[in-house]
Structure 1
Amino acid sequence: MFANLALATFMVSLTAAIHLGGLLGLLWVLRNRAHRIRAHESHLVPLGVILFVVLGLVAIHSVEIWLYGAAFWAIGAVGDFETALYFSTVTFTTLGYGDVVLAGNWRLFGAIEAGNGLILFGWSTAFLLSVTSRLRLLEHDWLEKTNAD
């Protein structure tokens, strides 16, 4: 059980750090390109920004899922890497199909991955909502200025 908790603590810490770094990277790109975003000039610009953020979030989650998959494979919890990656994806996204089941000594590690994935998806959802809200606010500010003129 100690190995489960130690590995789970390490993986939760690692994936949280990766997630934070990924979100900060997305913010950095958005802030450095903010002067080019003219939401009022085209409806495609906000859509492009949202698409960029969504694809960035998918990339961040993919790295985290692959790391968990590598961990399952490295500890021998599953037979091959493809199965480990599949199990990790199903677990991280909390789908839990149940067609691949871990041995009793690693079940706690799998359960903690599911909790970690749930929290990180929530964090990503909040980030995406924040970006879309900010885009709407920029559009609203521009419309207010245009109507005042």
Structure 2
Amino acid sequence: FLLHGLEIWLYALLFSKLGAVPEFREAVYFSTSSYGSIGYGDSAIAGQWKLLGAIEGINGSILLGWSVAFFVTVMARMLPPLTRR
């Protein structure tokens, strides 16, 4: 969870430093919605940086899926096996 948050904030910092999003608060919001692949559309990014926002969305989808797979694997090892009758 912390690593996902860190990545979101790093993307927000990048968007802010590039001037892709006017305010840092808006950059964090845009980054969070892009990372979660929600992309509400109520937050705008400068035209020349839209591809970077899409890349963040793909990156977020992959990493969130990887985290879910890891969590399921850990839980499967911790829980007792189901027995069939």
How many angstroms apart in 1 are the aligned matches of 2:64 and 2:8? 12
How many angstroms apart in 2 are the aligned matches of 1:125 and 1:104? 32
The match for 1:89 among 32, 52, 55 is 32
Any idea what SS the aligned residue of 2:2 has? Answer: helix
Any idea what SS the aligned residue of 1:95 has? Answer: coil
Q: Could you list the per-position Cα deviations for residues 59-86 of structure 1 after superposition, in whole angstroms to 9, with x for gaps in the alignment?
A: 1110110110000001011111111001
Q: TM-score, normalised by structure 1?
A: 0.53
Q: Could you list the per-position Cα deviations for residues 86-140 of structure 1 after superposition, in whole angstroms to 9, with x for gaps in the alignment?
A: 100000001110011212100000000000000000100110001100101xx34
Q: TM-score, normalised by structure 2?
A: 0.91
Task: Say if 2:56 is the partner of 1:113.
Answer: yes
How many angstroms apart in 2 are the aligned matches of 1:84 and 1:96? 13
Task: Say if 2:8 is the partner of 1:65.
Answer: yes
Higher Cα radius of gyration = 1
Name segments (4+ residues, structure 1) moved above 3 Å. Answer: none
Aligned identity (percent) is: 48
Alignment gaps of 5+ in structure 2: none
Any idea what SS the aligned residue of 2:49 has? Answer: helix
1:131 paired residue number:
74
Measured on the aligned residues, the alpha-carbon RMSD in Å equals: 0.9
The match for 2:47 among 104, 111, 126 is 104
Across the two proteins, how many residue pairs are aligned to each other?
81
How many angstroms apart in 2 are the aligned matches of 1:103 and 1:73? 11
Q: Which has the higher contact order (CA 8 A, sep 6+)?
A: 1
More helix by share: 1
